[in-house]
Chains A and B, each alone.
Chain A
Amino acid sequence: MAVEKGEALDWYRKMVLIRRFEEQAEGEYGKGRIGGFLHLYIGEEAIAVGAMAALDPDDDVFTHYRDHGYLLARDIDPKAVMAELFGKSTGVSKGRGGSMHMADVQRHLWGGYAIVGGHIPLAAGMAFANRYLGRSSVVACFLGEGGTNIGTFYAGLNLAAVWKLPLVVIVENNHYAMGSPVERVSAVREIYRKACAFDMPGVQVDGNDVLAVRNVVRERVAVARAGGGPQLIEALTYRFRGHSMGDPQRYRTREEVETAKAGDPIIRWRHAILEGGLATEGDLRKSEAAVEADVDEAIRYALDSPAPEAGEIDRDVLVAEERGHG
């Protein structure tokens, strides 16, 4: 396997971090400490972790609202992510964004966007700016397969293709858009084939295999960076939890979910590490324990952090205009 021990363990730790972070967040939601919508990424961790491993730190990232995993995979402090869920001033978006709208510009993570497909043109624009200003950064844009049925996907990718932008679009096909299975809402079931409409490369990858994701994303990013234009990747995965909290999941059977869990990306990577002799059971346990402590600390931090001051409510609506011109 073309992975070093350190890398292998890092990916494992990040996937477990996302898993434990969200399991705990789910519990906190039940206690009423987190409000609104909370879309869990559980079962899909290998995509964020594999993709971030393939990107340079100053490559730019845009995501949809199921976004906690990308922030954690990008080494953004779990404390600030949890604090955002708690609506605290120490959150990544200062408590103004919540679960669906998290950004950390220092880490080139330009935000979770909650209008399906609405961020695709933004990602294209960022890619344009990068090229225009002579930056070599590539933009990665994540979305769900349901988001490939809205106009911004088609016209956005067309724009990116016409302008040959350094953009990699990664569609996480978790098979359901809320309760709609792919075949009910998409005339084309293999999402990667939609790339042909833009004469753009489209590839499919096992999204539950973190190494495969890393490799495919790395390859596509290299092409985009070299001026090969936008690339489309479909990563096949499965959402183990409901769409958001309180989803009775009438659209699928328990058996189907249990069967899918056999392909759990974390368990798979654990086996791969042990089989490949990349690390020992002890190493993995140690990593799990460290994650446990990090998540506990994140919750404590979020609880202890102050809520935004009432006076913050009208800050940052507009940037102050420079007065006195003219």
Chain B
Amino acid sequence: MAETTYRDAIRGALLEEMRRDERVLVLGEEVGVWGGSYAVTRGLHEEFGSRRIIDTPIAEAEFVGAAVGMAMGGLRPVVELMTINFALVAMDQIVNNAAKIHYMFGGQIRVPMVMRMAAGWGQLGATHSQTFEGWFAHVPGLIVVMPATPYDAKGLLKSAIRSDNPVVFIEHSRLYGMKGEVPEGEYLLPFGESDIKRQGKDVTIVTWSRMLQVSLAAAETLTKEGIECEVIDLRTLRPLDMAPVFASVEKTHRALVVEEGWTTAGMGAEIAARISRERFDSLDAPVERLGQIEVPVPYAKNLEALMFPDEARVVEAVRKLVA
């Protein structure tokens, strides 16, 4: 096994799939010569040229829509939306076209495409610091992936590219530099399989994306106090694999959902509802949720630092849960 960054793992998936299948192409703003705003596509233009690595105008709705049309026409486009914030501009194309076309026309048409986008923050202010994966996970007809590790990112992106469905693939800007084990050979990971990233018997933490790292750090601290957290990484938010979560709650009787976005009407609300509904009798306490403060993200460093769940807050929430 080699240590690889999250960024390189994603690039590796793109590279392998593009070499494997001529129909796979990448399009988006500055994906070509520039190499992508987070340098994910760096080097691809050199290998594949402008025919397959396509720089687009700044027109998210239109290039996402064009990718839908390309997919309908037999290609397998991978669209890069610089950040998830700009996906808002393309929401109609994602929700009304990509997600609906297969069903609405009676199954005649397939839309095999991937929409990659980065969530994240870093003193970028309110418009550039959002995390609303729940908006996509709300929509039947989409697959929503949000990987937390280089290994998962690579295996899931390869599956996304080979899938015949529209896949929203949400990366995290603060994970791009993170290193992890990635095997040399080819592998694919299926959608809808949550992964137990740490075993424990006292509390179940359900999380995904960057909050996995925060949760694992908190679990490490808590173990010194004799509290053993089981940390479950959902990896895909639609389809959602709750079976390992339910099994875990039967053992721990306590659950905490840690998400980076706002909790109101967020992804965590869905998780909490399902646990409460399906494992009501196993629970010794209400399912707890931790998310960002319900305000637009501020610029000032000290204020921004208050926004998101961090290790200390997760530790505190777990302590309260087991108290």
Contacts and interface: CB of A to CB of B under 8 A. Distances in A.
A110 B108 CA distance: 9
Nearest to A320: B164
B72 A125 contact: yes
B61 interface: yes
B155 interface: yes
Given A115-B92, A115-B96, A159-B57, A122 B69 contact: yes
Interface in A113-152: 113, 115, 118-130, 132-133, 151-152
Given A93-B106, A94-B106, A118 B96 contact: yes
Interface in B188-234: 188-191
A135 to B, nearest CB: 8
A118 B100 CA distance: 13
Contacts of A254: none
A126 B96 CA distance: 17
A262 interface: no
A321 B143 CA distance: 11
Given A111-B101, A318-B141, A155 B106 contact: no
B10 interface: no
Contact of A155 (B59, B109, B140, B191): B59
A293 interface: no
B105 to A, nearest CB: 4
A51 B67 CA distance: 26
Given A93-B104, A111-B109, A115-B96, A325 B69 contact: no
Given A126-B73, A159-B63, A323-B190, A118 B93 contact: yes
Nearest to B108: A105
Given A125-B69, A316-B106, A317-B102, A326 B62 contact: no
A125 B71 contact: yes
Interface string A153-175: 00110110010000000000000
Given A156-B65, A317-B103, A129 B190 contact: no
Interface string B96-122: 110001111111111010000000000
Say which size band chain B's interface belongs to: 35 or more
Contact of B66 (A113, A118, A159): A159
A325 B159 contact: yes
B64 interface: yes
Given A115-B92, A159-B56, A319-B110, A96 B190 contact: no
B125 interface: no
B61 A155 contact: yes
Interface string A73-115: 0000000000000000001111111000111110000110101
Given A110-B109, A125-B73, A162-B57, A319 B104 contact: no
A315 to B, nearest CB: 7
A157 to B, nearest CB: 9
B165 interface: yes
A91 to B, nearest CB: 8
B187 A133 contact: no
A133 B73 CA distance: 9
Given A121-B68, A155-B57, A129 B105 contact: no
Q: Which 5 A-B pairs have the closest CB atoms?
A: A125-B69, A121-B65, A129-B73, A94-B106, A316-B107
11 contacts: A95-B106, A102-B105, A105-B109, A125-B67, A128-B75, A159-B62, A316-B102, A318-B102, A318-B141, A322-B162, A326-B190
